[in-house]
Structure 1
Amino acid sequence: MAEHAMTVEVVHAGAAGQILRRVELAAGSTVMQAIEASGIIEMLPHGVLDPHRLGIFARKVAPDQLVHDGDRIEIYRPLLLDPMEARRQRAR
């Protein structure tokens, strides 16, 4: 049985701008395999890729999650300020 190719997007939105890469993968590929195939890791600052801050269409996923054709894999950056603290500062 021949493996089917699928296309996914890998994206990271940093303070300096957005990095978006499209990559073709074999069926049965995982989130981490897609990130590695995109080459986006080399473009990110050291330490930005945390396996606990990955998502597909704004839904948190594990690095070993299987991807589907058309998925948008998102690499989230760490929060600079706790959302509750930001609200407190705005309220003052």
Structure 2
Amino acid sequence: MNQLIDIEVVYGLPHKQVLLSLQVPSGTTIENCIKLSGIVKHFPEIVPSKAIVGIFSKPDKLENTVKQGDRIEIYRPLTADPKEMRKLRAEKAKQAKNN
């Protein structure tokens, strides 16, 4: 019988954040932890098999297993390319400086 370990699953939107604590058998995959957590009840847009995830801000894979105390973070898709946004901010700052 597998030992139970404590983990957390978190997801957030600008207006709503949820952190769920649960116990899972040691050796459970990140994907299965997401399913077991029930976070999809709070955020139906999450598709566990396609989620982009990390453990304590470090990107990880759905098929990897969790360890005692891990916090699985489910990331939202980017709405804009970060490089493009930096470029636009730099151009805007340059224009403001010249005015």
Partner of 2:62: 63
The structure that is helix-richer by fraction is 2
Aligned residue pair count: 90
1:52 to partner: Cα distance:
5.2
Partner of 1:86: 85
Normalising by the residue count of structure 2, what TM-score does the alignment of the two structures yield?
0.81
Normalising by the residue count of structure 1, what TM-score does the alignment of the two structures yield?
0.86
Between Structure 1 and Structure 2, whose CA radius of gyration is higher? 2
Distance in structure 1 (CA, Å) of the matches to 2:19 and 2:69: 14
Partner of 1:3: 2
1:22 to partner: Cα distance:
0.5
Unaligned runs of 5+ in 1: none
Distance verdict in 2 for CA 1:33–1:27, change over 3 Å: same
**Native 8 Å contact 1:3 1:27 kept in 2:** yes
Structure 1 residue 51 and structure 2 residue 70: aligned? no
1:17 to partner: Cα distance:
2.4
Identity %: 36
Distance in structure 2 (CA, Å) of the matches to 1:59 and 1:51: 17
Structure 1 runs of 4+ aligned residues shifted over 3 Å read none
